Amino acid sequence: MKIRLGTLLLTSAALISPAAAQDAASVLQAADKAMGASAVKSVAYSGAGTMRYPGQSYEPNGDWPRAPMTSYSATIDYGSKSAKEEYAVDVAKKERGGGLAAPRTTNFVSGNYAWNLNAQGQPNPQPTQAELREFIITISPHGFIKAALASGNATIEDRYFNRLDQTVKVIGFTAGKYRITGEFDKDNLLTRVVTWFPSPVMGDMAIEVRYTDWKDVGGGAKFPFHIHAHQGDHPLNTGGRNWFDIRVTDAKVNVPEAAITVPENVRNAPAPQVRVASQKLADGVWYIGGGSHNSVAVEFKDYVALIEAPLDDARTNAAIAETHKLIPNKPIRYVVNTHHHWDHLGGIRAAVAEGATIVADDRDRDFYRNVVLAPQPRSLSPDRLSQFPFAATGPGTLALQTFTDRATIGDETRVLELYHVEGLNHATDMLVAYLPQSKILVNADLYSPPPAGGNLQNVGENAVVLFNNIKRLKLDVAQHVPIHGNPGPQADFERIVGPVAARSRPTGDGG
């Protein structure tokens, strides 16, 4: 039977027969034997390669910024469902775009607990990361075989691949809500895993991991010495994004050091919850904080504009609810999106479901209209917009207004000005929002003020770009309101960023 990739997944349930289940069991047993999976209790491997910053591209829908990974090491302990990974990146060689380029990253997961190490080497709870990290254990080379055998629901299909002109055996199974598929080569080694993971921006987002260059690593086990991963394939966004690529130089199985103890502060960390704390900044202007990403609500005569719909449905719905509490009986007509990075974009679907028009840079138009706001498969994590009938009526029907240099929202009571930020390496579509009456400037990812009168540890290039844009646009700013962090006065900004901007101003064109 020749069936093309894509159609098979929709019809696979109808294809299960006792014979196919038997066939799946024998393929899995052969793979288990070839890879030594059942005998692998833990694995430790190391190497080097490339890593990317998901959802942090410079161009909307562009490739994710890449950084050379000068070292990578990981351990997985299957019994305790725990894993650790540690990598160093060459920060100076990171491509433009977003993402925190820390020289060294150490991530952990153990069951429902996830954490990393902060700059001081102390454990920092990351409860929202546990699900993905556990999932990566499930789709690791030996983890896949263990999970497929344990599932009891594995099926096998012949799948024809145009690019190979070849028919390949594909094992599929479900683990909880996840559908996972794997392909095997003639030696019964797992060569490719394709699965889906929920993303607030992309919906059911494909994850693809290729395992090649299998070698004996002792104990009757083999391990792939080349691991290459993609994320972000989408029916309307052909071609996924490179995620990471690791050339393994050393791998060992059944290593005692793989067992991990959950630190006390991680075990006792509160469950993740959406917290909103608002404060009035000026007449008709409210800061909606309480989390890692803020919003700002601006009141007009007949409606409200909300600046930023960050993270996901939960965060943005909470910001919307707070806005209605602060400004009752007025619709949220506009939601301003500062730029396309996924942590700032994940709530625009909730904003559309609320009935708002999204206002963004014109560079975002195609990606937002054709992918983010288009009807998407969202079976893994349905959101507010996916429940609306109009979400299934096709691209172009949703409210999106874009601009190139500047735009104004307002009436006789108040004005909100939006300006494109020039000269930025963080994102090509960045805007800042300015309120001339209250002299408030709202920025994302450019400048987070220190406590009043304080200093920043270092002044980044984004703050200098903000400084130059304020001068270029001749904005009379009194207060900076960041999407990350707390408001601060312009006097501090001038004192802290001014001298750095003066030193770094390019010669010749006057900056």
Residues that bind Zn ion (CB under 5 A): 98, 341, 445
Work out the angle between the directed axes of helices 141-151 and 18-35 (0-180°, nearest 10): 150
Q: How far is the CB of 99 from Zn ion (least distance, A)?
A: 8
Residue 354 or 445: the one with the smaller Cβ distance to Zn ion is 445
Tell me the chain's radius of gyration from C-alpha atoms.
Answer: 25
SS3 353: helix
In this structure, the dihedral spanned by the alpha carbons of residues 459, 465, 471 and 474, taken in order and rounded to 10 degrees, is -120
Residue 257 DSSP code:
G
Dist CA 452 CA 479 (whole Å): 11
CA 389 to chain centre: 27
Q: How far is the CB of 308 from Zn ion (least distance, A)?
A: 11
Residue 99 or 172: the one with the smaller Cβ distance to Zn ion is 99
Residue 34 or 444: the one with the smaller Cβ distance to Zn ion is 444
H or E stretch at 317? helix 313-326
Dist CA 344 CA 106 (whole Å): 25
Q: How far is the CB of 484 from Zn ion (least distance, A)?
A: 9
Dist CA 323 CA 319 (whole Å): 6
Report strand pairing: 113-117 vs 479-482: unpaired
Instruction: Decide: 296 and 435 in contact? Cβ < 8 Å.
Output: no
132 residue type, one letter:
L
Report strand pairing: 113-117 vs 104-110: antiparallel
Q: How far is the CB of 236 from Zn ion (least distance, A)?
A: 23
Q: How far is the CB of 37 from Zn ion (least distance, A)?
A: 40
Residue 47 or 97: the one with the smaller Cβ distance to Zn ion is 97
Q: How far is the CB of 445 from Zn ion (least distance, A)?
A: 4
Residue 123 or 449: the one with the smaller Cβ distance to Zn ion is 449
Residue 436 or 485: the one with the smaller Cβ distance to Zn ion is 485
Which alpha helices (DSSP H) does 152-306 contain, by range? 264-267
Closest CA to 259 of 83, 431, 432, 427: 83
Dist CA 496 CA 82 (whole Å): 43
Residue 204 or 445: the one with the smaller Cβ distance to Zn ion is 445
Look-up of token digits 């290459």: 228
Q: How far is the CB of 315 from Zn ion (least distance, A)?
A: 15
CB burial of residue 50 (10 Å; 0-12, 13-18, 19+): middle
Q: How far is the CB of 459 from Zn ion (least distance, A)?
A: 17
Residue 75 or 338: the one with the smaller Cβ distance to Zn ion is 338
Q: How far is the CB of 427 from Zn ion (least distance, A)?
A: 6
CA 84 to chain centre: 20
Q: What are the angstrom distances between the C-alpha of 396 and each of 157, 339, 375, 382, 452? A: 37, 20, 11, 21, 45
Q: How far is the CB of 482 from Zn ion (least distance, A)?
A: 12
Q: DSSP letters of 430-463?
A: -EEEEETTTTEEEESSS--PPSTT---S---HHH
Look-up of token digits 């706001």: 373
Q: How far is the CB of 428 from Zn ion (least distance, A)?
A: 11
Residue 47 or 310: the one with the smaller Cβ distance to Zn ion is 310
Residue 423 or 499: the one with the smaller Cβ distance to Zn ion is 423
Residue 252 or 341: the one with the smaller Cβ distance to Zn ion is 341
φ/ψ (deg, to 5) at 298: -125, 125
Q: How far is the CB of 444 from Zn ion (least distance, A)?
A: 6
Instruction: Decide: 444 and 342 in contact? Cβ < 8 Å.
Output: no
Residue 65 or 284: the one with the smaller Cβ distance to Zn ion is 65
